Structure 1
Amino acid sequence: MILDWPTELPRPERNTWSATHQDARRKRQNDAGPPGYSRRFSSVAKLVSLSVILDRNQKAIFDLFFEEDCGYGTALFHMPDPTTDGWALLTSDGVPLLTGDGQPLLMSKIWLCAWGDDVPKETIQGTEFRKTFSVVVMP
């Protein structure tokens, strides 16, 4: 069974967001000239570092999800893509597309994730908690 990211948790912060693709290249060193590259594997994961700001209740939900539900980061889970899920679908002019009753059409995208190399790190900001961690988005 694949778990679902808790809906009670907020979207990740924008200023700590970092994403890159796994390097799928195999470097070939030639006798002369620049190096060459070939594909090392066909499926490429996305590596994402992010953080969330949590109140005390949300911190408990996050901790329970990571520690108990995900076995301290050993289980896969579904997570809404913070760069797509819930954002308005726009025309080429940047105007939101609307339903018949005037509501914006929202995009939807769900990731299949594994916990990354950076397990959650916690810092305190006033009365809130910042959890910083990484995930591997499966291809």
Structure 2
Amino acid sequence: MTLPSFPTELLKPVADGWRQQRGESRRRAGGDQGPPRTRRGISKAADAVQMSFICDHDQRARFERFYDEDTGEGALPFLIPDFATDGDWLMTADGALLTDDEDNPLTIASTLVCMFGEQLPGYAPIGAHWQVSFILTVLP
């Protein structure tokens, strides 16, 4: 089964619209006194990513079609670029760009496997555009 990809014609998230939070994989037990005891609970935890982007009416329609048809109204996993690192240049420890044989800078290609999380897509009008916001669950 091939996973659908997030539509490339949609814009990158707004600067404050991409927040990634680590998933909880620890087990904590509080005692009567002192700090809580902490140990590893599960081997892999699902991270959460809050995403928000601005789009026009056509891009909103494309996003809604992706949500409704490609992800089965948010029930199926999909691929999305990791906007935190995707497209960044690879550099050495001293900050020099890594290049290929033709001196083209090398970039990071990072993709996440996600599902729509607890907060499903919501829309807020911004002039003639829309702000689309939702939370993704990054699958381990």
Provide the TM-score with structure 1 as the length reference.
0.91
Distance 1:76 1:39 in 2: 27
Please, which runs of 5 or more residues in structure 1 have no aligned partner?
none
| Deviation for aligned residue 1:30 | 2.2
| Deviation for aligned residue 1:58 | 1.3
Other-structure match for 1:36: 37
Q: Tell me the amino acid that sits aligned with residue 66 of structure 1.
A: Y
| Deviation for aligned residue 1:36 | 0.6
| Deviation for aligned residue 1:85 | 1.3
Q: Does 1:8 align with 2:22?
A: no
Contact map agreement 2:17 2:53 (CA 8 A) in 1: no
**Share of identical aligned residues, percent?**
35
What is the DSSP-based 3-state SS (H/G/I as helix, E as strand, rest coil) of the residue aligned with 2:100?
coil
After superposition, where does 1:33-72 map in structure 2 within 5 Å?
33-72=34-73
Distance 1:7 1:77 in 2: 13
Distance 1:102 1:127 in 2: 42
Deviates more, 1:100-109 or 1:35-44: 100-109
Other-structure match for 2:90: 89
After superposition, where does 1:102-117 map in structure 2 within 5 Å?
102-117=103-118
RMSD in angstroms over aligned alpha carbons? 1.5
Other-structure match for 2:25: 24
Other-structure match for 1:125: 126
Provide the TM-score with structure 2 as the length reference.
0.90
